[in-house]
A = this chain, B = another copy of it.
């Protein structure tokens, strides 16, 4: 392909609307253009990347016995009413009516359609297991679409659904997908981690997220650096190790009020009273649809609201505002504490219960209590792990101090069990003629999100650095002087040789200065840049530069194809 004939509208300026680097670079390098908020057109280079990712995904799904199908994007409301999700899905579901007034939605996911299909076609245990998948546009009407392809309203997903006769079968299917996902992201050339995750609203039990590691990632994960262990979890889900010996060897003393004027943050209290933050009890008030809750964690800890929400089994959870705090605690914000607090549910993290002679708010302005002893001075309604696990905490499996990383969720695998098959009546007959619901799993990969995540992980100040396997083209050939017939002819020959040698190559034949071409090449992120100049014409030496390392070398003309193939396909 010749660059002069490709639609690659690169931009010099950083577009104002792009908040994250992948969005900026996808716009600047001419990969995407916005059609509406959260809705994009994929230009030729982006589409090549997407098709490569899709093909890797397809091959790995097929390898595990997945069968590719294509379900509709417009889904009739009836099925969503059967599953019960029509009413609960909320404003993220794009809804529409057809000309006869019948309700439809644009599929954000396909549990209903596929379960209805399987209900109609699967009758016997002989037809199981079954792994069906598709690669398709999905829709989510985000309140605030942002970050380019990271949080769009129209995006491409691979979704696979597994159907098994029992939980043991589901374990096998889940294992296959875990392996497939691992291979997919390896083949995409990405650094990633599968982590234990929270199953959220989709239901089900076991679930893993596949995180592409990047400093800009929205998600925080903790992982065990121990070679043998392998524990990794989204902090949303990571379980805290039960507290061991606190190391506090004191007799409980009588609780006592102390005057702490204007002293209300953890930092202020520890400094003012000269105590360690680990001896403080931090009290946070949350409003939920089941009433207000006071949550206690150690002064050096943060509350994990995902775990808290799950422990309380509530749909809404938000910090109480200042007037509510004052009304409930009887004091300004910063002085709430568990002792004598009434009218709220009291939830304590286990670590709090191990404290002796602790410090807490006194529910009185400018006042704290010292020598607070849990169990003696207050008794929680619920003791449950609600704290955020952080780096340095012991691994729950092996005790090694955990490490932290940031990641971008590009895939998630779920065990659904019989939630949808029961709701929609998808059953099979076993060997004895007994009817059972099929046991399901669902498994998603964000294709367009993977493209964005690849950029978040692989870029520098000059542009994108594509992994070879998903690069739009492997190499660009640049003649230094487009007015020099010898440069152009040599470039043309090199281009043809490389293309003939199985290299996906473009020839930058535009009548532009070399600086413009070099800048575009770096911005677009071709893994290799091959430059043809006077040197090549005179000595036959071709300059080959690796985008990732910026290493530049001279290669004899007659060994070029082999050299390039070696760099691309054998390293």
Contacts and interface: CB of A to CB of B under 8 A. Distances in A.
Interface of A: 4-7, 9, 33, 35-36, 39-44, 47, 50, 65, 67-76, 91-92, 94-96, 98-99, 102, 104, 106, 113, 116-117, 120-121, 126-127, 130, 132, 137, 139, 141, 143, 153-154
Contacts of A72: 35-36, 39-41, 154
Given A7-B67, A67-B44, A72-B36, A99 B104 contact: no
A144 B44 CA distance: 37
A132 B41 CA distance: 12
Given A7-B132, A36-B104, A132-B7, A70 B98 contact: no
A41 B43 CA distance: 28
A65 B44 CA distance: 12
Contact of A96 (B43, B76, B95, B117): B95
A491 B83 CA distance: 44
Given A39-B72, A74-B36, A67 B99 contact: no
A132 B47 CA distance: 12
Nearest to A95: B96
Contact of A41 (B40, B113, B141): B113
B96 A70 contact: no
Given A35-B117, A41-B72, A92-B99, 11 more contacts: A7-B69, A35-B113, A36-B102, A41-B69, A41-B70, A41-B117, A50-B70, A73-B154, A74-B139, A94-B98, A96-B106
A76 B36 contact: yes
A43 to B, nearest CB: 6
Contacts of A41: 69-72, 113, 117
Contacts of A117: 33, 35, 41
A106 B107 CA distance: 13
A65 B154 CA distance: 28
| Residue of A6, A7, A139 most packed against chain B (CB within 10 A) | A7
Contacts of A99: 91-92, 141, 143
A141 B41 CA distance: 24
A106 B67 CA distance: 28
Given A68-B44, A141-B99, A143-B99, A35 B73 contact: no
A139 B104 CA distance: 13
Nearest to A30: B121
Nearest to A39: B72
A94 B96 contact: yes
Contact of A6 (B67, B92, B143, B154): B67
A5 B73 CA distance: 26
Contacts of A5: 65
27 contacts: A4-B126, A7-B67, A7-B121, A9-B121, A33-B120, A33-B121, A35-B75, A35-B113, A35-B116, A36-B74, A36-B75, A36-B76, A39-B72, A39-B74, A41-B70, A41-B72, A41-B113, A41-B117, A42-B70, A42-B71, A50-B70, A72-B154, A74-B139, A74-B153, A74-B154, A91-B99, A94-B98
Given A33-B121, A76-B35, A69 B42 contact: yes
Given A5-B65, A7-B121, A113-B35, A70 B47 contact: yes
Contacts of A104: 36
Contact of A73 (B76, B96, B116, B137): B137
